Structure 1
Amino acid sequence: MIYESRIYKAVPGKLPAINARFANHTIGFFEEFDIGIVGFWNDEIGASNQLTYILKFDSMADREKKWNAFQAHKPWQEVRAETEKGGPLVAQVLNSFMELTPYSPEPSMKTTLQEKRIYEAMPGKLPDLHNRFSNHTMALFEKHGIENVAYWTEVIGTSNRLVYMLGYPDLAARENGWAGFQSDPAWQKARAASEENGALVRVSKHSILRLADYSPR
């Protein structure tokens, strides 16, 4: 299974129109072409002007076949033309292709607030990072009320990244969960043991996201 993460950076003021087009049209076309949907999110924190969504396909060949058919679909072309009479809605598209790690659950969400985190591993340390998550971190997240949604690695290029998504009931639960996790002696012990020969993560990035009202759950 291949997952595609797509981020649409909207033309200023056009994010509501992008969300409306997905809600009223695009999701239906995706379903028509059997394009799997994990979810659609808007940023929860900060003055954001972007939409994040994740799709899934059987393979890269399956992705190319279905995506090309969707883009060539006349009803979609008509909707796009109609919604862009006043100009384009999307200024930039960022996408990446991923596959689930062996220890990842199948992506599903019991919560409506998610956190997407990207870890750039130190050179040669990605396997150690995977081991720490699979053997320690995931169970500790659950212990502290943090939902493990999914864990991915990128499949195109020489990536050294771990991409994962967590879930929370609300922002307060996020803060409480992370405070409990980071102060847990079991986590501190696991981290110290895994970093005896140096840190595993070079750079980390995260964004707090809320499922769009129209997103499948």
Structure 2
Amino acid sequence: MSDHEQQPAPRRGKVLDALTRAERQVFTRPTPKSAKSQIKFLLTRAKGSTKALAARLGVSRRTVQRYRAGQLTTPNKRLRAALMEETESEWQPQVRAQVREQASTSSGMMVEVTAYFGFTASGSSDDGRVRTITTPISPTYVKQILELQEAGATEEDLHPIVAEAITESYFTEWGTRADALTAHFTHVQSINFQF
């Protein structure tokens, strides 16, 4: 199997990408940068199996062996991206778990989103429009979002719960105004989470 036979992975979506970026911002040590060090790290996670790592990266077993031995040092663009993605997804699992636990039980997280927000409420005169909103998300919603992410939820599965979390904190101010308001967001231009 050559490095060029694999097709690129499908794009996950802006909400899922934002959750991944937020997790990677909490790393306490930098991830390995060279292809050789990334291969060595990933081999420890694959319990030394060059075959399993080759399948995961979409390259031949021999290619993995060559990078591990230092015979190859400059991966092509696709392999470089795969190495970085796989390394970052496995890096510092305890740090990631601690941050996720704290966010889902006590601290919550922040969201900054630019999207089209539409509303349904009795007597509302606020027409839908593009808004940029920065607001905290309560631990209850963080827990639901992270559980959905871990269960393999799609972008479409996450939009309603994120919209509900934003509605609660930004539009209804934790239930103190605008009862029965429901906000939906579409056409997400950008979204960022911060633990």
Q: Same fold (TM over 0.5)?
A: no
The structure with more radius of gyration: 2
TM-score of the pair, normalised by structure 1:
0.28
Question: Where is the strand percentage greater, Structure 1 or Structure 2?
Answer: 1
TM-score of the pair, normalised by structure 2:
0.30
Question: Where is the helix percentage greater, Structure 1 or Structure 2?
Answer: 2
